[in-house]
Amino acid sequence: MNAFPYKNGELYAEDVALSAIAADVGTPVYVYSVAVMTDAYRLFVDALSGQRAQVCYAMKANSNVAVIRTFAALGAGADVVSDGELARALMAGIPANRIVYSGVGKTREDMAAGIDAGILQFNVESLPELTALSEVAAAKNADVEIAIRINPDIDAATHEKIATGRKTDKFGINIEHAPQAFAQATALPGLTPVSVAVHIGSQLTDIAPFRTAFTHVAELTRQLRAGGIAISRLDLGGGLGIAYGDETVPTSAEYSAMVAETVGDLDCDLIFEPGRFLTGHAGILLTRIIFVKHSGERRFVIVDGAMNDLIRPALYGAVHAIQSVREPASDAALGEADIVGPVCESGDTFATACALTNIPAGEFLVIRDTGAYGAVMASGYNSRPLVPEVLVNGADYAVVRPRETLQQQLDRERFADWQD
């Protein structure tokens, strides 16, 4: 659904005018729609209704506790990759027995926190991690269920920086070494291997790499069972992409059908870890035009949002649709404009040669589809305050992360003892 429509000549978030949020909270500000997140979750879950599936929201996409609680209320679990994300999941009401702990660099402190919380499973990604987790579990007289994440050496044809399923990537254990890893796990105290895990990347817009990866998982599962290892659960990761523009992406129904075809005969519980699919379309970055600068034939629209607030265009070359909060006239002339921020980097550019009407300073723009990997990747570069976040539910809205103040930034730092 589109929860950001034009009504009465201006852009809304559900039933709240974005101009009202700008007046109340200021800009730049992230705005999230509960309705879009709810619809995306139900679309994904309903497609999997014929399978024993648990959706564990990949919190790295957006870890605001109000967003997590929205999914917790719908029955979601969580996929976490740090002790901080674990704490946020528990705070937001995700039951510990619906939490999966992923990540290639879990510390022993991370492992201990997960064990103490009683999470569902650890996704182990290396032999050294396997040994360390065994030692931590044994010291606590605990027995933990684990998955071993395999690396199937599949190029998912996504962006270089978010591909995770090739041998050259840091993730998982090469699939040809998986049987030995499972055998080692069964011999170690404190560990019960019950699951095979796989995740080959983010923002996948083609079903084929999933099909290949899940076929490998099915083959490995049969091999492990034949060797006496009782695999009862498969963690199939996330990665299903969304359309940022006019690209064609698989539907959740097409994805579910492929899952049934590849692993449906294994009689396993299935875990899925969507992130972007659930939150990407649900968020926008609302920003105000500071200046309009003309340099030769170039028109620069300088906004108060910046790459520290939304780094995807600078980091990935990501393209986000940009539109005016004030609805343009149907016959309004369009001209090319570069939408840029105030940070002292040429990379602080949200769009180049964007088709835009003649919008003056003081008006507002919206950068679409920023609910995933937006605020969660923000920084304080140039000593800019962290951007606030607003959650909209129908005609109601709430600030779910206030804007950071300069004093809060300064309070985090100290002079050295020898400095006056």
Report the distance separating Cα 29 and Cα 27, nearest Å: 5
SS3 for 182-209, per residue?
HHHHHHCCCEEEEEEECCCECCECCHHH
Answer positive or negative: Cα dihedral of 123, 109, 119, 375. negative
* Residue 3 CB partners (closer than 8 Å, separation 6+): 13, 14, 33, 35, 36, 282, 392
Q: What is the DSSP letter of 163?
A: B
Cα–Cα distance list, 377 to 75, 373, 380 (Å): 26, 6, 10
24, containing H or E segment: helix 18-25
Cα 217 from chain centre: 24
Phi, psi of 335 (to 5 degrees): -140, 160
Rg value, the chain, Cα: 23
> Which tokens sit at 395?
């005609």
Measured from the Cβ of residue 199, the count of other Cβ atoms closer than 10 Å reads 24
Instruction: Report the candidate in 405, 385, 384, 370 with the shortest Cα–Cα distance to residue 67.
Output: 370
Length of the chain: 420
Measured from the Cβ of residue 73, the count of other Cβ atoms closer than 10 Å reads 13
- Answer yes or no: 268 catalytic: no
254, containing H or E segment: helix 252-263
Report the distance separating Cα 267 and Cα 199, nearest Å: 20
Whether the CB-CB separation of 73 and 84 falls below 8 Å is answered with: no
Residues annotated catalytic, as ranges: 344
